[in-house]
A and B are shown apart, each in its own frame.
Chain A
Amino acid sequence: EAQVTQNPRYLITVTGKKLTVTCSQNMNHEYMSWYRQDPGLGLRQIYYSMNVEVTDKGDVPEGYKVSRKEKRNFPLILESPSPNQTSLYFCASSPLTGRNTEAFFGQGTRLTVV
């Protein structure tokens, strides 16, 4: 089954404690990205990657890092989380070519930073 898997689904952490949210896709997609969803703001792109070792900032990258060492994985790293990073996070993947396909989203990770 084609899917994007995020872990963990729920996470409560304290300010300043480094954390990583993992994302893995089994569709051999080149493009992967991270979004955060906040009430009244919709989804905003944090970082994206067009292929292995190719990453770039989205619209709200401050406080986040990513890496793309393998095609299937795209972890989101918060080196020093702060309460304003409390949010619902989604990973998505899609192919780079082919107009009749779509972006696939993970189930989401609800992060609370206290």
Chain B
Amino acid sequence: AQSVTQLDSQVPVFEEAPVELRCNYSSSVSVYLFWYVQYPNQGLQLLLKYLSGSTLVKGINGFEAEFNKSQTSFHLRKPSVHISDTAEYFCAVSRGNTGFQKLVFGTGTRLLVSP
């Protein structure tokens, strides 16, 4: 079975500073990896995904993530955050051969951007 660990429940950061949200996973099979964002009172929106190929994945809103197979990590980064990036971010994994259907989520990281 797959599992996802997001060690940071909350990350405070100042506007225009860089940020990294950490995600580690465990799985005995190949996986697909995802980052979702949840703005207040809204559903989940896909930020980016890793299926195969280049380990550096670029997503929407200036976010990117790097897949590191040896460290089983998929950390999310943004070089300069905005107030509007304040939201909760979820890392998720699915079995590689079933694609994105069954998603296993981490517990989420709340990003708090202040002026």
User: CB within 8 Å of B: which residues of A?
Assistant: 4, 31, 33, 35, 40-45, 48, 50, 58, 90, 92, 94, 96, 99-103, 105-108
Cβ of B105 < 8 Å from any Cβ of A? yes
Given A41-B107, A42-B6, A48-B101, 4 other A-B residues pairs in contact with their CB atoms under 8 A: A94-B100, A96-B101, A108-B41, A108-B42
Is the CB–CB distance between B101 and A33 below 8 Å? yes
Alpha-carbon separation in the docked complex, A58 to B101 (Å): 12
A94 cross-chain contacts in B, Cβ below 8 A: 99-101
Alpha-carbon separation in the docked complex, A111 to B85 (Å): 27
A43 cross-chain contacts in B, Cβ below 8 A: 44, 90, 92, 103, 105
Q: Would you give the shortest CB distance from A9 to chain B, in whole angstroms? A: 9
User: Which secondary structure dominates where chain B touches chain A?
Assistant: loop
Is the CB–CB distance between A44 and B105 below 8 Å? yes
Is the CB–CB distance between A103 and B106 below 8 Å? no
| B interface residues, how many (CB within 8 angstroms) | 25
11 sampled A-B residue pairs with Cβ under 8 A: A4-B43, A33-B101, A33-B102, A42-B105, A90-B43, A92-B103, A96-B101, A100-B51, A102-B34, A103-B46, A105-B45
Is the CB–CB distance between A40 and B9 below 8 Å? yes
Is the CB–CB distance between A107 and B9 below 8 Å? no
Option from B41, B42, B101 in Cβ contact (under 8 Å) with A103: B101
Is the CB–CB distance between B43 and A108 below 8 Å? yes
A58 cross-chain contacts in B, Cβ below 8 A: 102
Alpha-carbon separation in the docked complex, A82 to B104 (Å): 25
Say whether, besides A31-B101, A94-B100, A42 and B108 are in contact (CB < 8 Å). yes
Is the CB–CB distance between B103 and A45 below 8 Å? yes
> Which has the most chain A C-beta neighbours within 10 Å: B9, B41, B101, B108?
B101
Option from B44, B90, B99 in Cβ contact (under 8 Å) with A99: B99
Alpha-carbon separation in the docked complex, A87 to B97 (Å): 31
A96 cross-chain contacts in B, Cβ below 8 A: 101
Alpha-carbon separation in the docked complex, A103 to B45 (Å): 9
Say whether, besides A48-B101, A102-B46, A42 and B107 are in contact (CB < 8 Å). yes
Cβ of B49 < 8 Å from any Cβ of A? yes
